[in-house]
């Protein structure tokens, strides 16, 4: 029947396929490239890889910045040096990510907690691991945690997070 031919009922169907894995587009890689060729704040990442959280301080006006800068936003001097930051601080504010995980974050483990941590010289935002939102309070002591990043580059990249200091919340 011609009807069968037109709707494809009796003809062999062509097969199409999609890749088993989708390669992550460069722009959806959540973490910054960290080598000297790729970023002018590579020293921040080198220090972090060595286990020390640092940031820049202006040697002219003594302002401490976070994130690290290449020019002081306060006095426009480019005479900056890297200084150590404390690895322990207090939770200044926090929230929970329950859905809508950004593309490029390969860990599908929502919910997770993000917070603003007061380290003294600076406040910075970061993920808070090993803690449920309901178990946290503003002012809770947290400490630095350094994670290694798997991803589409060959470099050994790292990033910082925080975790509760007692380690046994929840
Ligand atoms: Zn300055």
In a domain, 15, yes or no: no
Domain of residue 75, residue span: 30-164
- Taking the C-alpha atoms of residue 6 and residue 11, their distance in angstroms, rounded to an integer, is 9
Stated pTM of the model: 0.78
DSSP 166: S
User: pLDDT (tens digit, 9 = 90+) per residue, 42-85?
Assistant: 999 999 999 999 999 999 999 999 999 999 999 999 999 999 99
> What is the distance in A from the centroid of ligand 1 to the CA of 39?
21
Q: Does some domain include residue 154? A: yes
Q: CA 2 → CA 8, 12, 28, 59, 120, distances in Å?
A: 10, 15, 49, 84, 80
Residue 9 CA to ligand 1 center (angstroms) comes to 75
Tell how far the Cα of 57 is from the centroid of ligand 1, in angstroms.
8
Residue 11 within a domain: no
Asked, for residue 83, whether it belongs to a domain, the answer is yes
Flag whether pLDDT at 169 surpasses 50.
no
- 98 domain-assigned: yes
Cβ-based neighbour number of residue 57 at 10 Å: 18
Mean pLDDT of 137-148: 96
How far does residue 48's CA lie from ligand 1's centre (Å)? 23
**In a domain? residue 4:** no
* Total domain count, the chain: 1
Is residue 100 domain-resident? yes
Residue 11 alpha carbon to ligand 1 centre in Å: 75
Torsion of CA 162, 166, 168, 170, to 10 degrees: -70
The answer as to whether 20 is a domain residue is no
Report CA(40)–ligand 1 centroid distance (Å): 18
């Amino acid at each position: 029947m011609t009807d069968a031919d037109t709707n494809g009922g009796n003809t062999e169907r062509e097969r199409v396929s999609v890749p088993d894995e989708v390669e992550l587009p460069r722009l959806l890689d959540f973490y910054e490239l960290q080598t000297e060729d790729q970023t002018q704040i590579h020293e921040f990442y080198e220090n972090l890889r060595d286990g020390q959280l640092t940031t820049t301080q202006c040697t002219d006006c003594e302002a401490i910045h976070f994130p690290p800068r290449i020019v002081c936003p306060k006095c426009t001097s480019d005479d900056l040096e890297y200084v150590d930051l404390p690895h322990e601080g207090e939770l200044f504010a926090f929230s929970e990510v329950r859905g809508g995980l950004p593309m490029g974050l390969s860990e599908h483990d929502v919910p997770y907690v993000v917070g603003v941590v007061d380290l003294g010289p600076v406040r910075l935002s970061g993920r808070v691991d090993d803690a449920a939102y309901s178990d946290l309070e503003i002012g809770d002591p947290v400490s630095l945690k350094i994670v290694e990043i798997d991803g589409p580059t060959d470099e050994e990249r790292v990033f910082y997070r925080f975790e509760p200091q007692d380690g046994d919340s929840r």
